[in-house]
Amino acid sequence: MALTPEPGAASNLPAIVTERRDLVEPIVVPNTLWQSSNPVAYNGGQDSEITHLREFEASGAGRRDDARWAGPLEVIPTKADIVLDLIRANSLWPLLSGLACCAIEMMSAATSKNDMDRWGMFPFRASPRQADVLIVAGTCTTKMAGPLVRLWEQMPEPKWCVAMGDCTCSGGRYKRSYSTIQGIDRIMPVDVYVPGCPPRPEGLIYGMMKLQQLIKDRRGHWPDRAIGPTVPEDL
């Protein structure tokens, strides 16, 4: 499907992404299909200034594979990775950080009725240094974006992110709001999206089990991660 920009589109935006390399770079996926009825409302239509991920990519630090997956374990035969991934998949400590409504359902998923502990996902760590998976549960506002990104960057590799709820997946019911982020995949990489407003606890557990499957398929590898919304290759 080839789409051409409409004549009225802003010219300072980058072209439509075509390669996988390009998908890694931008934080804000340029939109050329639609124009706001009031473009000035967004500070003159300027780009986002959240560029830390872009700078991180440019610095090349993310491409060093230090102690993330292989590191000192490179000497072990490749098949050992399967075991390591199994271990990682079965011990996912979420970060104890709820943003809004979904946090209650996240807690409900960990409590007696829907016991996430059964899969080894229970010890909710209060400190990001010890957490493996960031469940972004609830609406992320623009004021919260900075702290949230810092939390993500404070987590040690390997780490994963689960976007829980419509607000974190795409903006949800706050899609017109002046102060919410329209999907957290604009500021940080996301591995699993769990839609729903809020999703049931079973939904979150299903998402976490999907994450386990992804880990077993080696999805957490940093260079393979696409930053930004998941856009089809042919767009």
Closest distance of CB 21 from other proteins, Å: 20
Closest distance of CB 192 from other proteins, Å: 19
Q: Which of 4, 11, 46, 78 binds other proteins (CB under 8 A)?
A: 46
Q: What angle do CA 91, 125, 96 make, to 5 degrees?
A: 110
187: contact with other proteins by CB under 8 A:
yes
Q: Which of 101, 195, 218, 221 binds other proteins (CB under 8 A)?
A: 101
Residues from 144 through 183 that contact other proteins (CB under 8 A): 144-151, 156-158, 170-171, 173-183
Q: Which of 38, 63, 75, 233 binds other proteins (CB under 8 A)?
A: 38
Going residue by residue from 66 to 95, which x/- string records binding to other proteins, judged by CB under 8 A? -xx----x----------x--xx-xx---x
106: contact with other proteins by CB under 8 A:
no
Long-range contacts of the stretch 149-155 (C-beta < 8 A, 24+): 149/50, 149/52, 149/187, 149/188, 151/95, 151/97, 152/128, 152/188, 153/52, 154/128, 154/129, 155/95, 155/128, 155/129, 155/131
Angle between helices 80-89 and 201-216 (to 10 degrees): 170
Q: How many residues bind other proteins (CB under 8 A)?
A: 97
Going residue by residue from 190 to 229, which x/- string records binding to other proteins, judged by CB under 8 A? -------xx-x-----------------------------
Helix runs in the chain, H state only? 20-24, 52-59, 80-89, 101-110, 142-154, 166-170, 201-216
Closest distance of CB 173 from other proteins, Å: 7
| Residue of 185, 183, 151 lying closest to 168 (CA atoms) | 183
